[in-house]
Amino acid sequence: MGERYATIAEQLGKWHQHHLLTFWDELTDQQRAGLLDSLNDSVDCASLDEAFRRAMATATSTKEDLNELLKPLARERYLSVAEATEVELEDLRQAGLEQIRQGRVGVILLAGGQGTRLGSTAPKGTYNVQLPSGKSLFQLQAERIRKLQQLAGGDGRINWYIMTSEHTHTETLAYFKENQYFGLPSDQIRLFRQRSVPCVDFEGRILLDEKWKVATAPDGNGGIYRALKDEGILDELERAGVMYLHAHSVDNILIKVADPVFIGYCVRKGADCGVKVIEKVQPDEAVGVVCEVKGKYQVVEYSELSSETANRRNPTDGKLTFNAGNICNHFFTTDFLRRIADTTMPLHVAKKKIPYVDVATGERLKPSTPNGIKMEKFIFDVFPLAERFVALEGRREEEFSALKNADTAGIDCPSSVRGDIYRLHRKWLIKAGATEVLDAADASFDCEISPLLSYAGEGLEAAASGQSFRCPVHLTGADERQQS
């Protein structure tokens, strides 16, 4: 250990990070080995210094005012589900199902986050929002994949690639094993880690989380591109014949996993990169918008829009001119992912309250104000690299309901996402021929339909036609009924 310590100490001293060894004499042999491992594995001082300087330069530079350059998405690259005919949508759906049938479609799930704001340190995908079924986000998405494969028919399967982080990997893997992969073959699911980056103070000095452990954080959802290459996923995709990927975040409870309409639209358009958006209806809604800037497509954060730009409306229909709300819902070809894998991604500075060990006192502190930064990459920063970019606008009430906060927040919380599922599933029953869906005695509409019974409202006529329902309603698939 002595020679290894000396080598690492020399490097830390060269880059003014020697404070990381302040408590060496106090550590046990096990803690010393762990600290050296973490310094060797996650701390490349030269690269970190370059990344810090690049991130800070970006954060402090005068940004170009985009408001005079913005253009809405060109109509030939944009389709609204609400404006398309049923015939057009069914045609796209069948095109997407054919790609699934041929085994050409995979899913990348961004699941590196914990449910911290929900009051949980567990992976967010394991969270149970208290639906009647008790299903977690992971289970709902797994069952949508199973149902979609059934609808597609043939021998094609949807390979599921789940990007975890150092904070969620072990627990996520254990969760899937404990639940028998929710009915999917274990070799159909591949977990891989995104990279972690040391957290630093405002001078670029690395923070200690414990005396024997560096403070780190995942490198953002834009870390997906480097992780896909480093973890060998790109090679696996090619060997499996997967040509198209649907990538999305774990916290959208309404996500249409591998949505065949979205897949079909992107493939028909010959897109190498695509995005699904929802209509932004309030100018001050805190969501970025997909726009064209100098002939390239990108996401412009809501904070970058002037009040005038955010409030601009079309003279023809009165809708917001810049209304393509970004919801972390993307399409990529495998070829595109291979092409941009080595691209140097922009770094974004997030000022955070980061618990740390004070090297002067040895005390671990939890600051009440931001004391350092996390350097993150955003998944949408590759949009300008696309050679053919398209967008599909889905219906918010059918496509998007994010779980981010505890119920005390009142929005994007367990009670709000439950309500969104209940309303959508009640709508499915009425459309399938139910005469009525009545509330319960407590005036609640607890209405859940298992993904194993219906992926997106199809096939419910036999259960719903001519029927009157009184909530709570919980309709299950044949597999679930047999198990129970």
Fold entry, domain 62-404: Spore Coat Polysaccharide Biosynthesis Protein SpsA; Chain A (3.90.550)
DSSP 1: -
What is the rounded CA–CA span in Å between residue 277 and residue 454?
Answer: 23
Tens digit of pLDDT for each residue in 296-322? 999 998 888 889 999 999 998 899 999
CA distances from 154 to 108, 143, 158, 237, 390 (A): 22, 18, 12, 20, 28
Evaluate if residue 483 carries a pLDDT over 60.
Answer: no
The residue type at 32: R
Domain boundaries, the chain: 1-43, 62-404, 413-483
| pLDDT on residue 476 | 92
Give percent of the chain above pLDDT 70: 97
What is the rounded CA–CA span in Å between residue 265 and residue 32?
Answer: 54
Contact status, residue 440 vs residue 472, Cβ threshold 8 Å? yes
Q: Return all residues near 211 (Cβ < 8 A) that are at least 6 apart.
A: 22, 23, 26, 27, 31, 357, 362
Evaluate if residue 484 carries a pLDDT over 60.
Answer: no
**Architecture (CATH level 2) of domain 413-483:** Ribbon (2.10)
What are 105's strand-pairing partners? 244
Reported for 212-216, long-range contacts at CB under 8 A and 24+ positions apart, including other chains, are: 212/23, 212/27, 212/31, 212/32, 212/34, 212/35, 213/34, 213/35, 213/38, 214/20, 214/35, 214/38, 214/39, 214/42, 214/43, 215/354, 215/355, 215/356, 215/372, 216/42, 216/166
| pLDDT on residue 482 | 46
Evaluate if residue 481 carries a pLDDT over 60.
Answer: no
The mean pLDDT of the chain is 92
219, 254, 209: which is closest to 375 by C-alpha?
219
More confident residue, 124 or 484: 124
Paired tokens of 201:
């103070």
Tens digit of pLDDT for each residue in 242-255? 999 999 999 999 99
Domains 62-404 and 413-483 share a fold: no
Evaluate if residue 466 carries a pLDDT over 80.
Answer: yes
Tens digit of pLDDT for each residue in 15-31? 999 999 999 999 999 99
More confident residue, 247 or 9: 247
Evaluate if residue 443 carries a pLDDT over 80.
Answer: no
Collapsed DSSP state (helix, strand, coil) of residue 342: coil
Task: Kindly state the average pLDDT of the residues 404-419.
Answer: 92
| pLDDT on residue 55 | 82
Evaluate if residue 472 carries a pLDDT over 60.
Answer: yes
Evaluate if residue 442 carries a pLDDT over 80.
Answer: no
Tens digit of pLDDT for each residue in 100-148? 999 999 999 999 888 888 888 899 999 999 999 999 999 999 999 999 9
Tens digit of pLDDT for each residue in 23-73? 999 999 999 998 988 887 667 888 888 888 888 877 766 566 778 889 998
